[in-house]
Structure 1
Amino acid sequence: MELGEIEAFLTLAEELHFGRTAARLHMSQSRVSQLIRSLERQAGGPLFERTSRRVALTALGEQFRESAAPAYKGLRDALTRARETSRTMSGELRVGYLPSLGGAPLTDIADAFRRAHPGCAVTLRQITMTGLARAWNGEVDIQATLLPVDEPGLTVGPALGTYERLLAVADDHPLAAAGQVRLEDLADYHLPAMPPGIPPALHDSYWPARTPSGRPIPRITVHGTYREALHLVARGRIVLPTDSGTARFRRYPGVAWLPIADMPPARAVLTWRTAAENARIHAFARLTAGMVQPRPQVRGGTLP
């Protein structure tokens, strides 16, 4: 049963005239008749008596109208409320972000959004790379993340910034004297094996399995937090590809941050589920596009 059939039935029950019903619904009389016949087949009997002179409800039609009218009104009211909610700036906007993307410009955008839309609360929630799948499945409304993003059903929105690719090494590491490294250098040292759950495209863009010439890049299992991984970096046990956004928040004694010369900059963007987009998401995205201007990359060794 379709809403169009119910709408045609209730309108005809009010007008008792196919021509006037068709005019109100902006459709042909034949289409109205088709909808009524379909509904009568589902109801199991005629809902209207039709003659060349008059149209009248049958007893079955009267019974059906008494039940269908309030249900139809309830559905229309629910749809109207949903549309109003999607158009207004009330409610809450949940914004997730990777740890390396905390602070400006995201906090500045959130503050500007609150000033522009005081009726809408904005909450910021830190999401790790292993939690991105949950974030995109409804844990937050918008997720600030890093490219690439190739999960289906997502909209990639405006940019938040770019970050230089860095390699964290011990400050007395053989690579540290060179001032920068290349991807080919990674085959000679151990990287940490990353935990499961990181989107594959994002994982491979940060921690490739092989160098450009095809040499495998060895891994060792590291248990614990990111800070504990940096402890192993400082001891010379591992090297860690990262970016200047992460390095900004993860300063650690005994660790040097070397630019990776042949890796493109990391690009941060807003993402959201396409099926769940609404006026709040669009307003936040427009504000981001207007506030974020191209900036020089934060360079290794000169981090604030």
Structure 2
Amino acid sequence: MEIRWLEAFIAVAEELHFGRAAARLRLAQSPLSQTIRRLEKDLGVRLFDRSTRSVALTPAGQAFLPHAHRVFEELELGRQSTRATAGEVYGTVSIGFFGALNHLTLPPLTRAVRQRYPEVTLSLTARVMTREGVEQLEQGGLDLAFVGLPISHSPVRTRLIGREPIGAALSIDHPLAGQKAISLVDLAEDGFITPPAAAGSALQESTLRACVTAGFRPRVVQEITDAYMILTLVSAGVGVALVPSSVAGIMSSAAVFVPLRDEPTYVDHALAWREDNPSPVLRAVLEVAEEVLPTPET
């Protein structure tokens, strides 16, 4: 088995299209197909179901893919370790984040890492909610993720980097938009815009918890993963939303942030990573994060 065979397999598995995979690898399609056949012959299994219209991984291909990824991860770790012996920090760290909720935490970290370690590449993936972030960390798809707490039944390590109360995002023509503060129960008849419940969003869970504490279950009229789109739909009058107080600074002119009078419900922001991740560049990034995103006093 050759490394280039694995590279070809990963490209086809991710693209699920031989033409696009060949373009990505800068190969003709025929040599790529031959490489995949050699790999399948070497393994003694079929890795792809092919038809004239589609390409899909077989169960054997799905089982083989994480191991193929791991080979390249180990090669990258090897490169990093050779540079580390000379005192250099070199390599790639993959970071998952949600979007608007990280507008005060992601930028200072990425700026500090780039200034301190110019040879480090940050691979950023947006719209990663807490549950997906934890799963990606466990599977090795991410090195670091911005998540909401608490996280249950997971071996990933977390560190609190922020705590803020939630308030209401209302359109400017909402009857309560002009109030200095409101009680959450005043929104009991409104439709709510939230991240999808099935996605495991800490913000969605905080919204539900706050509403239940106030004595009602929110009527969800729209579920959407993009935090900026949540604010856009609020501006359009589709519904109301509960958001962290930091979002007040990025509201559009057609929406307002109104604090809640109730007992505060907090959103706890954290960084998460796998403790057994051997990447030296991840350790370097975590050290920078300790400086620019310290754990707040609670």
- TM-score, normalised relative to structure 2: 0.58
Residue 220 to residue 167, structure 1, CA distance change in 2 (3 Å) = same
CA shift, 1:180, in A, is 1.5
CA shift, 1:194, in A, is 3.6
After TM superposition, list the pairs within 5 Å mapping 1:1-304 onto structure 2. 81=78, 84=81, 89-129=89-129, 131-133=132-134, 135-136=136-137, 137-159=139-161, 161-192=162-193, 194-199=195-200, 203-208=204-209, 210-212=211-213, 214-221=215-222, 229-249=230-250, 251-261=251-261, 262-276=263-277, 278-292=279-293
Which amino acid is the alignment partner of residue 274 of structure 1? Answer: E
Larger radius of gyration: 1
Supply the distance in 1 between the matched residues of 2:113 and 2:233 (Cα, whole angstroms). 41
Q: Please, which runs of 5 or more residues in structure 2 have no aligned partner? A: 1-74
Supply the distance in 1 between the matched residues of 2:104 and 2:254 (Cα, whole angstroms). 27
CA shift, 1:270, in A, is 0.9
Residue 95 to residue 253, structure 1, CA distance change in 2 (3 Å) = same
Supply the distance in 2 between the matched residues of 1:186 and 1:115 (Cα, whole angstroms). 45
Cα pair 1:148 1:202 within 8 Å, conserved = no
Residue 92 to residue 212, structure 1, CA distance change in 2 (3 Å) = same
Supply the distance in 2 between the matched residues of 1:127 and 1:150 (Cα, whole angstroms). 21
Q: Please, which runs of 5 or more residues in structure 1 have no aligned partner? A: 1-77, 297-304
Helix, strand or coil for the counterpart of 2:152?
Answer: coil
CA shift, 1:195, in A, is 2.3
Which amino acid is the alignment partner of residue 270 of structure 1? Answer: L
Cα pair 1:184 1:211 within 8 Å, conserved = no
Residue 145 to residue 246, structure 1, CA distance change in 2 (3 Å) = farther
Supply the distance in 2 between the matched residues of 1:86 and 1:153 (Cα, whole angstroms). 29
Supply the distance in 1 between the matched residues of 2:203 and 2:244 (Cα, whole angstroms). 13
Helix, strand or coil for the counterpart of 1:169?
Answer: strand
CA shift, 1:234, in A, is 3.4
Cα pair 2:248 2:256 within 8 Å, conserved = no
Residue 85 to residue 218, structure 1, CA distance change in 2 (3 Å) = farther
Residue 267 to residue 225, structure 1, CA distance change in 2 (3 Å) = closer
Supply the distance in 2 between the matched residues of 1:112 and 1:214 (Cα, whole angstroms). 44
Supply the distance in 1 between the matched residues of 2:223 and 2:81 (Cα, whole angstroms). 50
- TM-score, normalised relative to structure 1: 0.57
Cα pair 1:132 1:199 within 8 Å, conserved = no
Residue 289 to residue 208, structure 1, CA distance change in 2 (3 Å) = same
Supply the distance in 1 between the matched residues of 2:79 and 2:237 (Cα, whole angstroms). 57
Helix, strand or coil for the counterpart of 1:113?
Answer: helix
CA shift, 1:92, in A, is 0.9
Cα pair 2:166 2:264 within 8 Å, conserved = yes
Helix, strand or coil for the counterpart of 2:256?
Answer: strand
Helix, strand or coil for the counterpart of 1:275?
Answer: coil
1:199-244 deviation per Cα after TM superposition (whole angstroms, max 9, x unaligned): 2655311333843254332222457965564454335442111123
CA shift, 1:141, in A, is 0.7
Cα pair 2:170 2:240 within 8 Å, conserved = yes
Cα pair 2:147 2:270 within 8 Å, conserved = yes
Residue 257 to residue 103, structure 1, CA distance change in 2 (3 Å) = closer
Supply the distance in 1 between the matched residues of 2:208 and 2:82 (Cα, whole angstroms). 42
